[in-house]
Structure 1
């Protein structure tokens, strides 16, 4: 998760992932979900170690000091894992994430042969499960979707696409700016609502110089990040219902 500028009135935590829910930082709920997926053996948490040290008493969890941005943090995690298989990458500010949502995402990814897998969730799924949740949506020919915050990546190709990925990440919540990176044709198709999932996957693959796949998830929890007060209110209310 990024820095919690919009959430200062709710928490003194510098980063969104460190904001507490029920006495635990949000990132701890993400880690719990990942640890309960059989396909995931170990988890690397990239963040301020001094603030996270007391929360992860598990041999399967390793803490690594964070860098300056998302891609730098991904590289730090990979350097400390040296994996040979595909790796699940998740942001630390999606505390509603469940093991079931992660397993479903991995199962959906198995249908494609790619280096980078990105989930999207239909607007109706979000509104059915979390009415009133404000998200950034993109209209494609297949429907209206929002992006996820969990990914599956081939670690062997990450370094080659770092710079291009930074641009996409920077504008991931600004569809028009993102279309400008993808090209004029995408801007036109975006406003006409004629973009298709295969076209998006193909163009992103070209820009990142890897094989990309867009995966439709039916679990809104893969994308509900906490970066504004209304998000935090919703998440805290959901955790209160679980208690």
Structure 2
């Protein structure tokens, strides 16, 4: 299916002549043995957990469709047909949305499609449980992308705690601050492929920053553990080892780092969405 070249006004503007169009990959798979949150919510697939009137997958998809940065959407899951059947018809049958089977490895699934006709460059990767994603967050992420081969969206701990002092996140601690991921990854072109291949080798350790940096040698690991290196510098050095330019994009919206991994996350996301409905942004 070729990339969309014309916007579909009935389902969101998927095109912009002024900005490069990105392919958005939504990771909507789950563990082969099932997902605890899906079981908790009594649904078969985590991506189809309903929150405040819409499934998580539908929320993320509609947000991406409404963004002028996005030209195509690829939904990846082990059972893409089931997820397609669980979406509203305007999404399930939209010509700019593809449903692609994945395997049990996130990185290997991405590596198999990026840069192909299915997911042409540049590529933005996000997740189906990124239910608080907004156009404002996407705008901030793409504003911070200045041609890096790989860019990773993060939120600084002070930003998160100022808005949600009780929020529990996984923090990567560096000199000058601690950061939590926002489930937004920019892959610019073929030069990003070594980073995807590397991620495949460390995917099981993705919550343990020190194990990831250990792959880049003792010097970088020691500086990361002793917090004598900033996050931006650490990513830059890791990127250099792979022959690419890698940087974090530090987002100023706390909600960017809140996804749905635990029941308390679901309660928080639901409360935030209810508050947004009561007090919509101007």
1:11 and 2:48 are equivalent in the alignment: no
* Equivalent of 1:63 in 79, 96, 99: 99
* Equivalent of 2:52 in 7, 22, 27: 22
User: Which position in structure 2 is the counterpart of 1:32?
Assistant: 62
* Matched residue SS, 1:119: strand
Within 2, Cα distance between the matches of 1:49 and 1:9?
19
1:49 and 2:83 are equivalent in the alignment: no
Work out whether residues 116 and 152 of structure 1, in 8 Å CA contact, stay in contact via their aligned partners in 2: yes
Work out whether residues 165 and 208 of structure 1, in 8 Å CA contact, stay in contact via their aligned partners in 2: no
The count of corresponding residues between Structure 1 and Structure 2 is 240
Within 2, Cα distance between the matches of 1:82 and 1:192?
39
User: Which position in structure 1 is the counterpart of 2:248?
Assistant: 214
User: Which position in structure 2 is the counterpart of 1:109?
Assistant: 145
Give the 3 Å change call, closer, same or farther, for CA 98–8 of structure 1 in structure 2: closer
Within 1, Cα distance between the matches of 2:169 and 2:48?
21
Unpaired runs of 5+ residues, structure 1, are none
Unpaired runs of 5+ residues, structure 2, are 1-27, 278-282
Work out whether residues 150 and 223 of structure 1, in 8 Å CA contact, stay in contact via their aligned partners in 2: no
* Equivalent of 2:108 in 58, 65, 72: 72
Deviation at 1:215, TM superposition (A): 1.6
Deviation at 1:122, TM superposition (A): 0.8
Q: What TM-score, normalized by structure 1, do the two folds share? A: 0.86
1:169 and 2:203 are equivalent in the alignment: yes
Bigger share in helix:
1
1:154 and 2:213 are equivalent in the alignment: no
* Matched residue SS, 1:42: strand
Root mean square deviation of aligned Cα: 2.4
Q: What TM-score, normalized by structure 2, do the two folds share? A: 0.75
Within 2, Cα distance between the matches of 1:16 and 1:181?
31
Within 1, Cα distance between the matches of 2:251 and 2:185?
12
Deviation at 1:160, TM superposition (A): 3.7
1:144 and 2:175 are equivalent in the alignment: no
Relative contact order higher in (CA < 8 Å, ≥ 6 apart): 1
Within 1, Cα distance between the matches of 2:185 and 2:155?
13
Give the 3 Å change call, closer, same or farther, for CA 226–207 of structure 1 in structure 2: farther
Give the 3 Å change call, closer, same or farther, for CA 166–175 of structure 1 in structure 2: same
Within 2, Cα distance between the matches of 1:81 and 1:9?
31
User: Which position in structure 1 is the counterpart of 2:169?
Assistant: 135
Within 2, Cα distance between the matches of 1:49 and 1:123?
35
1:94 and 2:133 are equivalent in the alignment: no
User: Which position in structure 2 is the counterpart of 1:125?
Assistant: 159
Within 2, Cα distance between the matches of 1:238 and 1:156?
38
